[in-house]
Amino acid sequence: MGMTMSQKILAAHAGLPQVKAGQLIEAKLDMVLGNDVTSPVAINVFEDCNATRVFDNSKIAMIMDHFTPNKDIKAAQQCQQVRSFADKYDIKNYMDVGEMGIEHALLPEKGLVGPGTLCIGADSHTCTYGALGAFSTGVGSTDMAAGMISGKAWFKVPSAIKFELTGKPQRFVSGKDVILHIIGKIGVDGALYKSMEFSGDGLQYLNIDDRLCIANMAIEAGAKNGIFPVDDITRAYTNGRFQGTPVEFTADADAQYDEVYKIDLSQIRPTVAFPHLPENTKTIDEVGQVKIQQVVIGSCTNGRITDLRAAAEVMKGKKIAKGVRCIIFPGTQQIWLDAMHEGLFDIFIGAGAVVSTPTCGPCLGGHMGILAQGERAVSTTNRNFVGRMGHVDSEVYLASPAVAAASAIKGYIANPWDVCEDV
Q: How many helices (H) and strands (E) does the chain have?
A: 13, 18
270 versus 99: which is more confidently predicted?
A: 270
Residues of the chain with CATH 3.30.499.10: 5-263, 272-417
Percent of the chain whose pLDDT exceeds 70: 99
> What pLDDT does 367 receive?
86
Q: What burial letters (b/e) apply to 170-179, b meaning 16+ CB within 10 Å? A: eebbbbbbbb
Per-residue model confidence as pLDDT tens digits over 252-299:
999 999 999 999 999 999 999 999 999 999 999 999 889 999 999 999
Q: What is the DSSP string of 264-289?
A: EGGGPPPEEEPTT-TT-EEEGGG---
Angstrom distance (rounded) from CA 120 to CA 314: 37
CA distance 407 to 400: 11
The predicted pLDDT at position 421 comes to: 64
Q: Is 241 exposed, middle or buried (0-12, 13-18, 19+ CB in 10 A)?
A: middle
pLDDT surpasses 80 at 146: yes
pLDDT at 364: 81
Give pLDDT tens digits for 306-354. Answer: 999 999 999 999 999 999 999 999 999 999 999 999 999 999 999 999 9
State residue 1's pLDDT score.
78
Give backbone dihedrals phi and psi of 34, rounded to 5 degrees, phi first.
-145, 165
List pLDDT tens digits, range 348-406: 999 999 999 999 888 788 888 999 999 999 999 999 988 898 899 999 999 999 999 99
Convert the pLDDT of each residue in 65-97 to its tens digit.
999 888 899 999 999 999 999 999 999 999 999
272-417, which class in CATH? Answer: alpha beta
User: Does the pLDDT at position 422 exceed 80?
Assistant: no
Pick the CATH number of 5-263 from 2.60.120.10, 3.40.50.300, 3.50.50.60, 3.30.499.10: 3.30.499.10
What are residue 93's DSSP bridge partners?
A: 61
* Residue 423: per-residue pLDDT: 44
Q: Shortest CA distance to 244 belongs to which of 29, 96, 8, 35?
A: 29
